[in-house]
Amino acid sequence: MLYLLIFVVLLMAELIYFRLADKCNIIDKPNQRSSHSKVVLRGGGVIFLVGTWVWSCLYGFQYPWMLAAVTLAAGISFVDDIHSLPDSLRLVAQFVAMGLMFYQLDILHLDMWWIVLLALIVCVGATNIINFMDGVNGITGGYSLAVLVPLLLMNRKIQFMESSFLIVAILSVVVFCLFNFRPKNRAKCFAGDVGSIGIAFILLFSIGKLVIQTGDITWLSFLVVYGVDGCLTICHRIMLHENLGEAHRKHAYQLMANELNMSHPVVSLVYMVLQLAVSLVMVYALPDRVLVHWVYLGIVIALLAVVYLLFMRKYYHLHERYLESLKK
């Protein structure tokens, strides 16, 4: 009954935000890099931050530093959604927020400073990859569910955090999906950086709790589909000598939606199902041995990388044709 009440509260909060965003002209106008062609409300992903606050208020602020981290990172991103901020400012805020989250995870120890520093860089990088992957309707919400649901299932096997936190996060994502997991040009809102960065911190915190509880870093496989696409696309853009800070349409999911004209929900479901399959194998099918997990993760990364490269080899010329048309 309580979760039903929370769902209703989150739904009302999202609807109230829509009114405010409409009045304040917080919108996403399409441009040459966009996968949409109509004006859409931006920042609907603020509901992920709202959900974290609702959970904290109801369950006694059990993760105060994590709450501060999500609020800082998502808050700065929300301001950036309204008025563009310098990349350096957003990056500093993300590192500070990640430091707060690490403090909550109790891993800020001087005797392992180099590991902490490396983890900070990796996690901030992962946060921005999740942000980069937010480009078609439903992909942020669908993929987040594909990570949160296996985490909740795993939490029933190994209690590594409060299940209520994961459930409320899932409810906030479901509310967002009601207005975003729709065909092209039919979405009521986009997540915005506030949503993609906010959910990235929530996902990384939850996975971090599991990694610390088990001592097994391979649980990062819960993000492997995004990781392979994001990292290989970055490598591709570096090879093309492109500015990584500029918007683009080179991710595999963008080619699927734009050059191949696939339905946005279908593209999102492809990523969602792939990640869900990888994660559920980890949760239910593999022996609880670190070596087995590493072998599995290596095989998954190799297979996904091969699929990505074959896909690009076959269809990237369509994107080059699109770029040529922009010059005419």
The per-residue pLDDT for range 29-82, each reduced to its tens digit, is 665 455 545 678 999 999 999 999 999 999 999 999 999 999 999 999 999 999
CA dist., res. 323 & res. 328, Å (int): 9
Residue 235 has pLDDT above 60, yes or no: yes
Q: Can you name the residues that pair with 150 across neighbouring β-strands? A: none
Residue (of 100, 139, 148, 123) closest to 229 by Cα position: 139
Residue (of 174, 162, 150) closest to 285 by Cα position: 150
Tell me the backbone φ, ψ of residue 19, rounded to 5 degrees: -65, -45
CA dist., res. 176 & res. 167, Å (int): 14
115 CB-near residues (< 8 Å, 6+ apart): none
Q: What is the pTM of this model?
A: 0.94
Whether the CB-CB separation of 187 and 137 falls below 8 Å is answered with yes
Percent over 90 (pLDDT), the chain: 81
Q: Torsion angle, CA of 148/250/44/186, rounded to 10 degrees?
A: -110
- The per-residue pLDDT of the chain, averaged, comes to 93
Running DSSP on this structure, what letter comes out for residue 246?
Answer: S
Q: What is the pLDDT of residues 3-15, one digit of tens each?
A: 999 999 999 999 9
Q: What is the pLDDT of residues 240-297, one digit of tens each?
A: 888 887 778 899 999 999 999 999 999 999 999 999 999 999 999 999 999 999 999 9
What pLDDT is recorded for position 114?
Answer: 84
